């Protein structure tokens, strides 16, 4: 079993970074030991494992009824298409290339075969990050377009960056809330997305963006932690000022349909990142 962070992505992108997130190596080893020993279904649901069937020991098994309807049974073809989209993003997306350069410069280079996996997921998610295996999951059955795959990769690479640089502890709800705030801030929220989820206001653009980030971060925390909505809101509000203002490694909030992605990529070397 592994920890995975839920991603809700669209065709847009933006960037994030987290504050000083500290967890002891002893805690990490305990977590990995527990995961390797296996966990029951209650723990599985508590941490969101049930959203990623291929991460469970039994793996994904197509249902004959859905195969006959054409809804399942073509997983191998979907995986090939997904891997092609991942490769396209790695070669062409300014944000993905920037994130890969930042990870490499931080001592955590990405090997496509080792660190990115296309898998069948629950239909409520499009991607996830597994810190135990240090792998990004792209949901091949949900993220079918290059724009969506780009959003998933950027979002999850932010979690990977936080885990690499700040000893992110996914069992700490404040750490989890912080990295989700950063991912929503840098990879997703724009005025258009805020308007679609009901957070938009023409009179206060800044507050609109913050509300969008809070809503997305809250949804992600609730997806992977079996906590009350009140506890999740408190965690998001607790860490929001610091995490919202942490823009590393992208350096700016990306506006939709703007040259911000390319500007962020060109500015990467100024921060010491070995961009591709």
- List, by residue number, the catalytic residues: 156
Token pair listed for 27: 């805690």
**Angle at 121 (CA atoms; ends 57, 236), nearest 5 degrees:** 105
**Angle at 124 (CA atoms; ends 244, 1), nearest 5 degrees:** 85
Cβ-contact 82, 118 below 8 angstroms: yes
**Angle at 143 (CA atoms; ends 205, 185), nearest 5 degrees:** 25
Q: Per DSSP, which regions of the chain are E strands?
A: 116-119, 127-130, 135-139
Token pair 């309807």: residue: 69
Residue 38 backbone dihedrals phi, psi, to 5 degrees: 95, 150
Which residues neighbour 153 within 8 Å (Cβ) at sequence distance 6 or greater?
Answer: 86, 89, 90, 93, 96, 99, 116, 127, 136, 138
Give SS3 for 147: helix
Cβ-contact 8, 139 below 8 angstroms: no
């Amino acid at each position: 079993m592994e920890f995975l962070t839920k991603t809700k992505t669209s065709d847009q992108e933006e960037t994030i970074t987290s504050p000083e997130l500290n967890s002891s190596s002893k805690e990490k080893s305990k977590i990995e030991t527990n995961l390797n020993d296996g966990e029951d279904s209650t723990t599985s649901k508590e941490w969101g494992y049930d959203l990623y069937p291929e991460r469970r020991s039994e793996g994904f098994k197509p249902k004959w009824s859905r195969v006959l309807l054409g809804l399942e049974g073509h997983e191998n073809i979907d995986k090939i298409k997904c891997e092609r989209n991942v490769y396209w993003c790695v070669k062409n997306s300014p944000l993905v290339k920037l994130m890969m350069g930042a990870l490499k410069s931080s001592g955590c280079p990405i090997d496509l075969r080792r660190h990115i996996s296309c898998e069948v997921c629950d239909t409520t998610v499009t991607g996830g990050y597994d810190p135990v295996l240090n792998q990004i999951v792209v949901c091949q059955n949900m993220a079918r377009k290059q724009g969506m795959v780009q959003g998933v990769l950027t979002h999850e690479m932010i979690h990977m960056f936080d885990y690499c640089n700040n000893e992110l502890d996914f069992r700490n709800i404040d750490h989890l809330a912080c990295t989700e705030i950063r991912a929503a801030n840098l990879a997703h929220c724009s005025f258009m997305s805020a308007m679609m989820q009901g957070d938009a206001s023409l009179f206060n653009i800044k507050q609109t963006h913050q509300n969008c980030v809070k809503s997305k971060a809250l949804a992600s925390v609730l997806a992977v932690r079996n906590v009350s909505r009140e506890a999740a809101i408190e965690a998001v509000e607790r860490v929001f000022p610091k995490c919202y203002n942490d823009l590393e490694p992208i350096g700016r909030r990306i506006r939709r349909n703007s040259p911000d992605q390319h500007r962020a990529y060109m500015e990467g070397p100024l921060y010491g990142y070995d961009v591709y």
